[in-house]
């Protein structure tokens, strides 16, 4: 499917087509060409911020009687990698990806980490090109209609579990820091630490930053289960 056909199918009155090509371009495609083009990572950063704001706003209004913790859990389920990859498939994003030869052969067109990242970069491109109205339109077609979807219950969200544990004892926030990136551009591995202030709670590795964050949170929960967390933070 051509990129223009994809945008027309979803009712996006695009102005800057190059922005959308960037949103759908994998690093492997860039590395195999001499032309000056960017991959989707910058737009993924933008899309992630747009998602956090609009999904939070939507859930706040949809569930007026739920607590902060419940809303956080809802949001985490809707914006995690597995969920975003599902939404990307619903939109048909895999059909319009620009991939390198190696990534194409290795199944990158249906790889969850790639689809989740490009879903975010697509949202970022829509927001920057034609504004919040059309960014929300894409969210309504995907995320919003799944806000009460129980199919997500079987996926363990370690980040949310860790945050709830930490806040129950300290009212502090867990942050995630990138420690290292290794491997080729078409198959990177990220190492991320779950941090509370200057304390490293756990470390995880994954083929995407989101997956590595989940692994770090899982590692932190396992370590905290072996210690007296409250006593440690009262010192």
Of 22, 120, 157, 219, which one is the catalytic site residue? 120
- 191 to 81, 205, 215: CA distances (angstroms): 16, 4, 9
Q: Which of 180, 181, 217 is nearest to 201 (CA)?
A: 217
Instruction: Look at the block and give the residue holding tokens 């052969």.
Output: 105
Of 22, 39, 44, 48, which one is the catalytic site residue? 48
DSSP string, 119-155: HHHHHHHHHHHH-HHHHHHHHHHTTGGGTT-GGGGGS
- 225 to 73, 128, 214, 228, 229: CA distances (angstroms): 21, 44, 17, 8, 8
Reply yes or no on whether 213 is catalytic.
no
Q: Which of 69, 74, 67 is nearest to 52 (CA)?
A: 74
The set of catalytic residues is: 48, 120
């Amino acid at each position: 499917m051509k990129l223009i056909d994809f945008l027309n199918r979803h009712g996006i009155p695009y102005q800057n087509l190059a922005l959308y090509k960037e949103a759908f371009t994998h690093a492997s495609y860039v590395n195999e060409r001499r032309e000056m083009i960017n991959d989707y990572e910058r737009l993924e950063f933008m899309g992630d911020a747009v998602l956090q704001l609009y999904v939070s706003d939507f859930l706040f209004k949809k569930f007026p009687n739920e607590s902060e913790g419940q809303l956080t859990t809802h949001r985490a389920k809707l914006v995690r990698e597995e969920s975003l990859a599902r939404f990307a498939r619903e939109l048909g994003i895999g059909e319009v990806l620009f991939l390198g030869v190696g990534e194409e052969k290795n199944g990158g067109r249906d790889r969850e980490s790639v689809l989740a990242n490009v879903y975010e970069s697509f949202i970022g491109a829509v927001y920057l090109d034609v504004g919040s109205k059309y960014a929300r339109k894409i969210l309504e077609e995907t995320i919003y209609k799944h806000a009460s979807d129980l199919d997500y219950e079987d996926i363990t969200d370690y980040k949310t579990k860790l945050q709830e544990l930490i806040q129950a004892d300290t009212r502090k926030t867990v942050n995630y820091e990138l420690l290292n990136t290794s491997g080729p551009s078409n198959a990177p591995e990220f190492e991320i630490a779950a941090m509370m202030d200057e304390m490293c709670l756990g470390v995880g590795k994954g083929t995407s930053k989101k997956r590595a964050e989940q692994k770090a949170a899982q590692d932190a929960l396992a370590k905290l289960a072996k210690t007296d967390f409250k006593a440690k933070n009262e010192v």
